[in-house]
Amino acid sequence: MAALVKRRGSKAARREAIEFYLFISPWVIGFLVFLLLPLVSSLYYSFTRYEIGGRPLWVGLRNYAEMFADPRYLNSLKVTFTFALASVPGVTIVALGLALVLSQNLRGISIFRSIYFMPSVMPMVAVSLTWFYVLRPETGPLAGVLALLGIQGPRWLGEPRWALIALMIINIWISFGGQMVIYMAGIKGIPRELYEVAEIDGAGSWARFWNVTIPMLSATIFLNLVLGIIGAMQIFDIPWVMTKGGPNDATRTYMIHLYNRGWVEIQMGSASAMGWILFLIIMAITLLIIRSSQAWVYYEGERR
């Protein structure tokens, strides 16, 4: 009897294991075919001279050496870092400020929450057409407002010193909605007792913000900071649709340079090398932020 039960149990366990692998097989196949295989292939191609339709020719580290000797590549790094260093704090400030305001229990506040979140879900083509109209140097709404103030507006997308600034503004406008929702969720999770205790101790609004709100939101700020930097370092769609990297490469971000190298100049080996360098840069920045989080991120219940 015991042997029969054991045999039946092993049969059921085998069938359960088979069903398990059958259910996860679509994900495993997708991971192997669409993620792991392209990843390994791109690493191999980064050490080759490879054009689509041809055979890869092994060149070792030549792609990496040529990349760092290319002024346009170095300029794309500079543009990308400048974009990230300006837009990520801008998105954080706008998103956190609006989250503090929109977390108030006021009548009709849900309408404003929807309005401010709307840019985050708008199609990129619609956003581009809207901002093309707004930033027209002579007939756009922004130029009209500046003219009323006696200010001659610049050619936002036509002058190198203003084009990147314009794209930063557009990126902030598009990106703050998603972060705002996350900050609002974090604000709602802060115990009201902490504010009451701080108020009893004589803390004003500014002191409560710095000593209660910011520490309790530090984990949320950390999350948005990491996601924001990863997104900013890979920015492609906004500058590609709006300026194609111009004028004079002023908005030629890393991803635009990679795209042109791979799909315009058909140098897939060099483009693969650029992709791996970008991966290492983002990983290094992310690890640095994670390492620094021990000094400024507070987790409830964590022992220091």
3-state SS record for 160-183:
HHHHHHHHHHHHHHHHHHHHHHHH
Same domain, 243 and 99: yes
Query: For residue 133, what are the CA distances in angstroms to 36, 62, 142, 173, 246?
Result: 43, 44, 9, 15, 18
Same domain, 279 and 154: yes
Please enumerate in sequence order all residues whose Cβ is within 8 A of that of 217, keeping only pairs 6 or more positions apart, or say none: 96, 183, 186, 187, 190
Give the pLDDT of residue 9.
Answer: 58
Q: Is residue 50 part of a domain?
A: no
Helix axes 268-296, 218-233, angle to 10 degrees: 170
Query: For residue 105, what are the CA distances in angstroms to 50, 96, 110?
Result: 59, 17, 9
Same domain, 38 and 89: no
Q: Are 190 and 298 in contact (CB under 8 A)?
A: no
Q: Are 128 and 122 in contact (CB under 8 A)?
A: no
Q: Is residue 222 part of a domain?
A: yes
Low-confidence ranges of the chain (pLDDT < 50): 4-5
* Chain center to CA of 290: 16
Report which secondary-structure segment, H or E, holds 135. none
Same domain, 88 and 216: yes
The CATH code of the domain that includes 245 is 1.10.3720.10
Q: Is residue 190 part of a domain?
A: yes
Domain residues for the domain of 11 are 2-45
What single-letter amino acid sits at 145? V
Q: Residue 184 — φ and ψ, nearest 5°?
A: -65, -40
**HSE (CB half, 13 Å, CA atoms) of 4?**
1
Q: Where are the beta strands (DSSP E) in the chain?
A: 48-49, 57-58
Q: Is residue 66 part of a domain?
A: no
Residues 181, 179: Cα–Cα separation, whole Å: 5
Q: Is residue 63 part of a domain?
A: no
Same domain, 91 and 234: yes
Same domain, 139 and 223: yes
Report which secondary-structure segment, H or E, holds 261. none
Same domain, 132 and 215: yes
Same domain, 12 and 142: no
How many domains does the structure of the chain reveal? 2
Q: Are 142 and 134 in contact (CB under 8 A)?
A: yes
Give the pLDDT of residue 15.
Answer: 87
Same domain, 130 and 248: yes
Q: Which residues sit opposite 48 in a β-bridge? A: 58
Question: 45, 63, 80 — which closes off a domain?
Answer: 45
Give the pLDDT of residue 300.
Answer: 66
Give the pLDDT of residue 4.
Answer: 46
Same domain, 18 and 164: no
Give the pLDDT of residue 182.
Answer: 94
Residues 117, 99: Cα–Cα separation, whole Å: 11
Give the pLDDT of residue 298.
Answer: 84
Same domain, 116 and 241: yes
Give the pLDDT of residue 5.
Answer: 47
Q: How many CB atoms lie within 10 A of CB 228?
A: 24
Residues 198, 211: Cα–Cα separation, whole Å: 9
Residues 117, 78: Cα–Cα separation, whole Å: 30
Q: Is residue 64 part of a domain?
A: no
Q: Is residue 289 part of a domain?
A: yes
Same domain, 172 and 235: yes
What single-letter amino acid sits at 285? I
The DSSP letter of residue 260 is I
Task: Provide the token pair at 52.
Answer: 């689509």
Q: Is residue 58 part of a domain?
A: no
